Every structure is written in C-alpha cells, then in structure tokens.
C-alpha cells in the first residue's frame, strides 16, 4: 500500500486533501455526517431535520464529492438542496435566501486540481469559528454521527437559481446607474472555475463591457489557480491590449479577487481590500483584517477616521471580529473582501461591484486611485512543513524577537514602527507561511531571512 502523499487537512477552514489519496468519498461522507449531527445538536433537537444547501466549484472531482456529501448529510436526517456549480459566497447567500440551517461547499479554493475539500457554513453563511469547527472535527475523527432510520430520511432537492440570487443581493447596495453611465470595459479571468456565470450576470446588469477569459466552469484550470502575479501574466497582457479600464481575476470558488490596473499592471490581492475599504469607509466606521494583511488598510482607515481590528487568519475569524465590532468592511490580504451589507463571507462579486462603482463615481483611472494609497513591499514566503516545525515557531520567535511588539493570536506576528513579519502554519496546506511587509522588497526579504535563520532554514 502506498504512503499518503499529502495529509488530510482539518482546520477552521474545513477539510482538504488530495483526491483519491488523503481525500476519498468515504472521508467526505463521514465529515458530512459529523457536520449534520453537529447541526442537529446546535438546533437543540436530536429529532430535527436541518436543511442544508450544498454547492461545488467546477473541479472534475466535485460532482463525486457533492454526491458523497449529500449522502452523508441525508444519512443523519438532513434535508439537502443541491445548488450545483456555485461560488462559495453564492452558496452562503443562497443558504440565507432559503432560510437553511447550514451550507456546504465542495471546494479546495485556490489549491491545484489534485485537491478538493469540504467547507461547512452555518445558517448565517459564515464558517463555524474555531471552537465549533473543533467539535465537528472531533466528531469526524471519532466517527460520531447520529444516523437515522428510513422513516426519518429527508428529500434531496435541486435549486439552480444561485447565480441570480447572488447578483441581485450585491446589486441592492450598488449605484447601478452610475456604473452604466461610465461605460467601463473590464477583462475577467474566471479560471474555468465556479464564478464565471455569476460574474457575467453581474457585469451585464452593470452595463460593463467584458472580455471574459476562461468563463466556462470546466474545472480544467488554464494556469495555477491562485490569483497571484506569476499566474496572471495573460490577464495583464489582455488588459493592456484591449485598453480596458480594469482587470479582475477570480479563484476557483470565486471568494478571492485580484486586480490589474488600466495599464496592465498587476496590482495584487492586497489592494482588493485596501481599495474597497477606501471606497466605503467613513468616519467612525470599523474594519477588520487578519494579521497577515497589509497595513495599507490601517493608513486608509486612519485617513477616513475609522478603525481596524486584527484577527487570526481564516475567514471565520475575520467574520467573527467584524460581527463583534460591527465592522462595515473586512477581509484578508489574499484578495478576500467581506462587505457586511451583503454577507459576512469573502466575495469576489462584491469586490468587482465596489471597484466598478468606485471608478464610475470618481471619474478617474485606477492607477491614479492606487497612487493615493501609501505603498509598501510585501513578500510572501512558504516552507514545506516538516515534523515538529510548527511547535518551534512560538518559542523561537519569542526568544529572537521578544523585545518587539508581539501578537500570538495566530502563530507569531512581530511589529516594528514601519515593518512587520508574521509566521504561522497554514490552515489549508501542509506548509508554514512567512509574510513580511516593509518599505522595500529588500527590507521585507531581510525580515523573512531573519525568521528563516532563527528557525535554522536556508535563506532566500
């Protein structure tokens, strides 16, 4: 029997693994049954029949795992509504629209095609926070499920309206006529993922002309699906060739958004939240972001008379911080924008709509708007996680950097007056992330190398 090539990742972000290796339909059935059992307990009624909506991104393994998840949920007495291929925010919004008790997205987000996963959502559309996620994980590990007899089995139904419901929800809060009048042209790379249809409906409603790359949800990603600079060379070239106003890149489940400016320059994931916050923050507002997100948000909030709350990495953690502080906008530096007017879930359609509205209302070009934001150099490094490496982060960082400002909510973040570095293990991949931000690339790389040296790793 071959050794597993990748672990089964279990965290606040759900479950992920390699298809046919660490992740099989058996694991998905068991995790779905554990989640369904937890939902019944959370409703305070073991005889309840929770309603769960389930959607999937476009990966070839998605339909198989959608069926497995549906079976696992049904086995514990849940009523299931299958949404088919849909974005993660679309599933979350659809769950609220149908007044469901929970949701499931079969997705591995930006991970390559060999991966897939299971993301659980509560009735509010938000992933369960750490304490609740840990209960579900323990049920899965112990194979604890409240299976029901045939008399308590519920129907499995279908609903194909997610894309329109999602777009309608976003448009409720956008100046549609202003965007139409601006006659914008956008280039969009949907990476053959789940977001293409929803993006097309949105742009049509906004009157934005689009050049749509890889719109069909085939799941055959034309490039590495994470929306980073090295993966979006084609998008940048097409924006320049078409003389478009802006370029957008979605990830496979369309909860992340990267941006290219009107000159065909990759602005990056960090600017998605920064630009949206610049557009919506007003005096007295609160915003939230995780510890690995650029301090551009702090500068923008300060200029607007608003505040920033920092949380551990993970959408559920940012959403919890937003709710606790009544934050209007939040997100993560990976291109995840959360706008509380729509839902407390990262949503590429929200980012697209807000940036189109921003261009329309300000009547200027994106590069000019970006120039108004203080810029920093941020460098993101990752290291394959070896046995015992995660346990060394805290004591090593405290020993080497203990005389600086330290935040230990999630790994260790060290802050100086004009720079910071954050070290943590990933929730979704077997890697350690080291992210640094400073006034220059060289200074950020130097911070990363200081961490690497402290952890006895080769420098970059």
Q: Give the per-residue pLDDT at 77.
A: 97
3-state secondary structure 414-429: EECCCCEEEEEECCCC
List the CATH code of the domain at 377-454. 3.30.310.50
Residue 155 burial (CB < 10 Å; 0-12/13-18/19+)? Answer: exposed
Q: Give the per-residue pLDDT at 1.
A: 39
Total residues belonging to the chain: 460
What residue has token string 């709710």? 323
d(CA 27, CA 146): 16
33-92 tens-digit pLDDT = 999 999 999 998 878 899 999 999 999 999 999 999 999 999 999 999 999 999 999 999
Q: How many CB atoms lie within 10 A of CB 158?
A: 9
Q: Give the per-residue pLDDT at 386.
A: 86
How sure is the predictor about 127, in pLDDT bands with cuts at 50, 70 and 90?
Answer: very high
261-294 tens-digit pLDDT = 999 999 988 999 999 999 999 999 999 999 999 9
- With pLDDT > 70 as the criterion, what percentage of the chain qualifies? 99
List the CATH code of the domain at 9-160. 3.40.120.10
* Strands, sheet with 412-415, edge to edge from the N-terminal-most edge strand: 377-384, 431-438, 420-425, 412-415, 405-407
Which phi and psi angles does 279 have, rounded to 5°?
A: -75, -35
Contact assessment for residue 80 and residue 52, using Cβ atoms and an 8 Å cutoff: yes
Q: Give the per-residue pLDDT at 297.
A: 97
Q: Give the per-residue pLDDT at 268.
A: 81
Q: Which of 75, 109, 123, 320 is catalytic?
A: 109
Average pLDDT taken over every residue of the chain: 95
How sure is the predictor about 8, in pLDDT bands with cuts at 50, 70 and 90?
Answer: very high
* Nearest by Cα to 282 from 301, 298, 295: 301
Note the Cα 217 to chain centre separation in Å: 19
How sure is the predictor about 172, in pLDDT bands with cuts at 50, 70 and 90?
Answer: very high
348-406 tens-digit pLDDT = 999 999 999 999 999 999 999 999 999 999 999 999 988 888 899 999 999 999 999 99
Q: What is the mean pLDDT of residues 325-329?
A: 98
Backbone torsion region of residue 421, taken as left when φ is above 0, otherwise alpha when ψ lies between -120 and 50, otherwise beta: beta
Q: Among this protein's residues, is 109 annotated catalytic?
A: yes
* Nearest by Cα to 166 from 248, 98, 249: 98
Q: Give the per-residue pLDDT at 4.
A: 52
| Helical H segments across 113-188, by residue range | 130-141, 162-171, 176-182
Q: Does this chain's domain 9-160 share its CATH topology with 165-371? A: yes
Contact assessment for residue 251 and residue 428, using Cβ atoms and an 8 Å cutoff: no
Q: What is the mean pLDDT of residues 432-441?
A: 96
Q: What is the mean pLDDT of residues 159-180?
A: 98
Quick one: tokens of 419? 């720079």
133-145 tens-digit pLDDT = 999 999 999 999 9
Q: Are strands 420-425 and 412-415 parallel, antiparallel or unpaired?
A: antiparallel
- With pLDDT > 90 as the criterion, what percentage of the chain qualifies? 92
Note the Cα 145 to chain centre separation in Å: 29
Quick one: tokens of 156? 């499995």
Whether the per-residue pLDDT at 216 is higher than 70: the answer is yes
Quick one: tokens of 350? 């929200």
* Nearest by Cα to 80 from 90, 91, 89, 69: 69
Q: Give the per-residue pLDDT at 45.
A: 82
Angle 173-284-328 from CA coordinates, rounded to 5°:
35
Boundaries of every domain in the chain? 9-160, 165-371, 377-454
Whether the per-residue pLDDT at 2 is higher than 80: the answer is no
Does domain 165-371 sit in CATH 3.40.50.300? no
């Amino acid at each position: 029997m071959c050794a597993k090539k990748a672990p089964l990742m279990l965290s606040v972000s759900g479950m992920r693994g390699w298809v046919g290796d660490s992740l099989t339909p058996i694991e998905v059935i068991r995790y779905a049954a554990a989640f369904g059992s937890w939902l019944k307990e959370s409703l305070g009624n073991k005889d309840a029949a929770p309603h769960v909506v389930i959607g999937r991104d476009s990966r070839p393994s998605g339909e198989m795992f959608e069926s497995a998840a549906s079976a696992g949920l049904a086995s514990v007495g849940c009523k299931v509504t299958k949404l088919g291929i849909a974005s993660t925010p679309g599933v979350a919004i659809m769950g609220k629209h149908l007044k469901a008790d929970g949701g499931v997205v079969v997705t591995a987000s930006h991970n390559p095609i060999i991966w897939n996963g299971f993301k659980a959502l509560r009735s509010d559309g938000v992933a369960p926070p750490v304490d609740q996620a840990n209960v579900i994980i323990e049920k899965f590990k112990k194979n604890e499920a409240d299976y029901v007899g045939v008399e308590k089995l519920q129907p499995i139904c279908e609903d194909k309206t997610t894309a329109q419901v999602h777009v309608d929800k976003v448009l409720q809060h956008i100046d549609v006529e202003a965007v139409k009048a601006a006659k914008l042209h956008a280039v969009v790379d949907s990476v053959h993922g789940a977001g293409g249809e929803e993006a097309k409906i949105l742009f049509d409603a906004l009157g934005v002309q689009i050049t749509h790359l890889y719109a069909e949800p085939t799941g055959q990603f034309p490039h590495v699906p994470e929306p980073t600079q090295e993966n979006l060379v084609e998008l940048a070239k097409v924006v320049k060739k078409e003389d478009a106003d802006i370029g957008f890149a979605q990830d496979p489940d369309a909860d992340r958004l990267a941006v290219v400016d009107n000159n065909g320059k990759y602005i990056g994931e960090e600017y998605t939240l920064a630009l949206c916050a610049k557009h919506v923050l007003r005096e007295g507002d609160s915003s939230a972001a995780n510890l690995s997100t650029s301090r551009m948000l702090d500068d923008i909030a300060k200029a607007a008379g608003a505040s920033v709350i920092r949380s551990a990495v993970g959408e559920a953690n940012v959403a919890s911080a937003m709710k606790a502080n009544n934050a209007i906008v939040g997100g993560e530096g990976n291109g995840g924008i959360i706008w509380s007017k729509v839902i407390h879930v990262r949503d590429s359609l929200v980012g697209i709509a807000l940036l189109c509205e921003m261009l329309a209302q300000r009547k200027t070009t994106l590069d000019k708007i970006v120039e108004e934001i203080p810029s920093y150099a941020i460098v993101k490094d990752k290291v394959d996680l070896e046995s015992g490496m995660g346990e060394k982060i805290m004591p090593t960082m405290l020993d080497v950097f203990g005389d600086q400002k330290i935040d230990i909510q999630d790994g260790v973040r060290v802050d100086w007056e004009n720079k910071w570095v954050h070290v943590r293990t990933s929730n979704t991949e077997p890697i350690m992330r080291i992210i640094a931000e400073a006034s220059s690339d060289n200074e950020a790389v130097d911070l990363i190398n200081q961490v690497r040296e402290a952890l006895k790793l080769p420098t970059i």
